Amino acid sequence: MSVATVGEQGKRFLVIGAGFSGSLLSAILARHGKQVTLIDHAKHPRFVIGESSTPAAGLILRTLVKRYGLSELGPLTRYGRWVNELASVRRGAKQGFSYFFHQADTDFQVAESHPNELLVAASSALELADTQWLRSDVDQFLCDYARQQGVILRDLTTLKSLQRDGVSGEWATTVVDSAGGQERLQFDWVVDASGQGEAVTRLLGLPSGDLHGLKTNTVAVFSHFDGVKSWDALLAEERQDTKDFPFPADTSAQHHVLEEGWLWCLRFDHSVTSAGLVLDAHSLADGWQQIPAEKMWRTHIASYPSLNRMFQDAQLSVMPNRFLKTQRLQRIAGQAAGQGWVSLPHTAGFIDPLHSTGIAHSMSGVERLADIFLSVDSGHQVGVDAYGEQVLGELKLIDLLVAGCYLALPSKRHFEAYCMLYFAAATTYEKNRMDSDDCNLGHAMFLADDAKWVTAVRDVFYHLQELAMSQNWGEPAQFEAIIRRKIKRYNHAGLCDAAVSSMYQYTAAM
Ligand SMILES: Cc1cc2nc3c(=O)[nH]c(=O)nc-3n(C[C@H](O)[C@H](O)[C@H](O)COP(=O)(O)OP(=O)(O)OC[C@H]3O[C@@H](n4cnc5c(N)ncnc54)[C@H](O)[C@@H]3O)c2cc1C
């Protein structure tokens, strides 16, 4: 039996899951004197989805770099630095969010007042842009970095059991490596960063959260492709007028909004494109679970002629070299923390890729947990319990921010106006960080701790739900006026402005 001993520097941590968040938190804890064992049942490099970063994620990472002396990670905070200083870790540029609204069996058309587009810039220049992360590279880089900080990595290792001694508070776990060797290990804290694996919930047999309470109900079909035609080039060939676009659509998180959901297109610098359909489950025929992923992909793409042209020469990339299909994407844990354990946000739950909330949310979890565990105050449990409640509240707010967009799919102006709730929350969060000298530890993501804001979002959601159910969308200007009123206190970035005709030049609150 091998037992990690309590060192001078304090507690022993087991972190389950060597994705980017588990690796980054492990690295910070180890660099600051904790004994950390990082266990993953897989091995890097491996295919992972969840690639589009946001300004909030970049801001948090910049704070972590400064606060914990992680200068080696500085290049990951901006596209320009990343390309120049860390070229071996592959990525793409993301200057903002773009949305193109398609109708089935109809060619996509740019028109003068932009009734079919929404572009929201998030950075003022390419060098300062956010990034699309090639997760196989980024996660491996961060995992290697964690090892360099002294983290003990056990990959290809499975946890067989997990028990906590009620008296000493010590955890004991039995792990099995790829050769079948078993070991029993002991720890003081367990951090669950296993994402969908939900390792602690499963090992302790905890109940999951109220899935029925979540409004979003979507599934995804996705892969990585070579040879996806440039959307900018396709529009140019068709002599469509894109001079108002604040940035090239290919250097953005490209959303192609469809009648039954949307398609993401994220382009990496090495000519690979991540693309995925996210489909509203209400729009799927019974038995969709039995339809092979590739067939589902091809059927939906075929309905949209412009997308068909974009993908006509596309082939699956070597990794993962297949189409992947999910079940319902949404999940939420019953609890995100308990005695001696805590989950990172992506383990506590997940809502949907729309609005790219995942990386920033995970990054904020790393920030909050690093602060709790490295504080001199020994009341970690109190901090962890409060954090756990906060994360579940954030997931429920993200659910509302996302679900309204699916309700609004039939009306571009309602969809666009509803998106402004997300942009208001994100830019206010960014501004609050900047105003408090980049230290936002007391505040929840997306303003989930602002009761007035949460009520405002909920009110708008239920109003939109009534419109959607009645199928009488009414005058979009009325809905836009409601949104404008609701975001007034949070609108630091000129959002919901009819005068810009859906072309937002630069919304970042910094
Ligand atoms: C379809 C889809 C699209 C998304 N798109 C975006 C996006 O564009 N932008 C964005 O910001 N977010 C997106 N997300 C969310 C994003 O994927 C997550 O926020 C991100 O992956 C969280 O990283 P993580 O390191 O916390 O967890 P993960 O990346 O899930 O890593 C978990 C790790 O735990 C390991 N593991 C799992 N179970 C066990 C176990 N039992 N024992 C040991 N190890 C285990 C896994 O091997 C893995 O290494 C998307 C998610 C989905 C599902």
Residue whose Cα lies nearest atom 27 of ligand 1: it is 195
Both tokens of 279, joined, read 């489909």
175 and 319 belong to one structural domain: no
37 vs 43: CA distance, rounded Å: 15
Start-end of H helices in 436-493: 451-470, 476-487
Query: Is the distance from CB of 120 to CB of 423 less than 8 angstroms?
Result: yes
What are the tens digits of pLDDT across the range 91-111? Answer: 999 999 999 999 999 999 999
Percentage of the chain exceeding pLDDT 90: 94
**Residue-level pLDDT at 494:** 95
275 vs 266: CA distance, rounded Å: 6
Residue whose Cα lies nearest atom 29 of ligand 1: it is 19
Site residues for ligand 1, CB cut-off 6 Å: 16-22, 39-42, 48-52, 159, 193-197, 199, 220, 222, 276, 329, 344, 346, 350, 353, 356, 358-359, 362
**Residue-level pLDDT at 1:** 35
62 and 20 belong to one structural domain: yes
240 and 305 belong to one structural domain: yes
Three-class secondary structure of residue 121 per DSSP: strand
What are the tens digits of pLDDT across the range 214-271? Answer: 999 999 999 999 999 999 999 999 999 999 999 999 999 999 999 999 999 999 999 9
Mean pLDDT of 107-129: 96
pTM metric for this prediction: 0.97
For the chain, the domain total comes to 3
418 and 472 belong to one structural domain: yes
Query: DSSP strand E in 309-400: where?
Result: 315-316, 324-325, 331-332, 337-338, 341-343, 349-350
113 vs 97: CA distance, rounded Å: 18
**Residue-level pLDDT at 377:** 77
25 and 123 belong to one structural domain: no
Domain with residue 162: its CATH number is 3.50.50.60
What are the tens digits of pLDDT across the range 49-101? Answer: 999 999 999 999 999 999 999 999 999 999 999 999 999 999 999 999 999 99
For residue 197, report the distance from its CA to the centre of ligand 1, in Å: 9
**Residue-level pLDDT at 434:** 87
What are the tens digits of pLDDT across the range 194-210? Answer: 999 999 999 999 999 99
Domain with residue 238: its CATH number is 3.30.9.100
Q: Could you identify the atom of ligand 1 that is nearest to the CA of residue 42?
A: 47
Look up residue 30 and give its amino acid: A
161 and 98 belong to one structural domain: no
Q: Could you identify the atom of ligand 1 that is nearest to the CA of residue 194?
A: 34
**Residue-level pLDDT at 510:** 45
Look up residue 243 and give its amino acid: K
- Boundary-marking domain end, from 375, 407, 439: 407
What are the tens digits of pLDDT across the range 16-44? Answer: 999 999 999 999 999 999 999 999 999 99
* CA–CA–CA angle 214, 343, 337 (5° rounding): 85
Q: Which of 400, 393, 496 is CA-nearest to residue 457? A: 400
365 and 471 belong to one structural domain: no
128 and 151 belong to one structural domain: no
285 and 310 belong to one structural domain: yes
- Boundary-marking domain end, from 368, 389, 407: 407
349 and 403 belong to one structural domain: yes
What are the tens digits of pLDDT across the range 343-401? Answer: 999 999 999 999 999 999 999 999 999 999 999 877 899 999 999 999 999 999 999 99
Q: Could you identify the atom of ligand 1 that is nearest to the CA of residue 39?
A: 43
Query: Is the distance from CB of 255 to CB of 100 less than 8 angstroms?
Result: yes
Judged against a pLDDT cut of 60, whether residue 3 lies above it is answered with no
For residue 387, report the distance from its CA to the centre of ligand 1, in Å: 20
- Boundary-marking domain end, from 378, 407, 436: 407
28 and 163 belong to one structural domain: yes
465 vs 487: CA distance, rounded Å: 19
Domain range enclosing 171 = 1-88+134-209+332-407
311 and 347 belong to one structural domain: no
